[in-house]
Amino acid sequence: MTIDFNKGAGLVPVIIQDYQTLEVLMLGYMNQEAWEKTQAEQKVTFFSRSKGRLWTKGEESGNFLHVKSMHIDCDQDTILILVDPVGPTCHTGSRSCFKTEFNQNFLLQLERIVQHRIDFPNEESYVNRLRGRGINKIAQKVGEEAVETVIAALTETDTDFINETSDLLFHLIVLLKEKGMSLETIAKNLESRHQ
């Protein structure tokens, strides 16, 4: 991959995006040395304009940005890096440096949370307790929540409908994970139906 560092006096902008939710997390700058270090270590390193030196995101906080893929734009003067973030990205403690009303891809983040509960079981976790009762109980719970969603849609308030729909989606994600599948599997299937 060739990058034109000359256009920006040795620096190019770098957009950091969560590889799973596609949420834009931050913008930084790289010089040639930061680019090479990022490629070698697979952790995002910027050139800090305020510090005047290389700066690996997370070097002090531990909130590293692990590289999943890197892409250069058509003019070869901007980099997009998809990352697996460890902890919050912003120095303020926020997930993203950009303040948005809500994370429009929260379902993907919720899927990640459910997977974490599966990978690191905790007795206090509802996901862990539900999974302990087996796939039949998980599937039954999805059915119950689907019926409650339909009833809420037909006879209850919008707030009730929103709450029941949320319960349904949550339990459906747990069932997908129990079956070894993901929202990506469903999204790809839906996309293939509309081509």
Please calculate the CA angle 184-188-194 and round it to the nearest 5 degrees: 145
153, two tokens: 């849609």
Choose among 66, 61, 116, 65: nearest CA to 93: 61
The rounded distance, in Å, linking the Cα atoms of 181 and 29 is 36
pLDDT digits (tens, 9 = 90+) for 67-96: 999 999 999 999 999 999 998 898 888 888
Q: Is the pLDDT of residue 103 over 80?
A: no
pLDDT digits (tens, 9 = 90+) for 10-55: 999 999 999 988 889 999 999 999 999 999 999 999 999 988 899 9
Choose among 7, 9, 50, 6: nearest CA to 28: 50
The rounded distance, in Å, linking the Cα atoms of 62 and 15 is 20
Q: Which domains does the chain have, with CATH numbers?
A: 6-85 (3.10.20.810), 106-192 (1.10.287.1080)
Residue 127's φ and ψ, nearest 5 degrees, are -60, -45
Say what the pTM is.
Answer: 0.65
Contact 30, 45 (CB under 8 A): yes
Amino acid at 25: L
Mean pLDDT within 50-65: 91
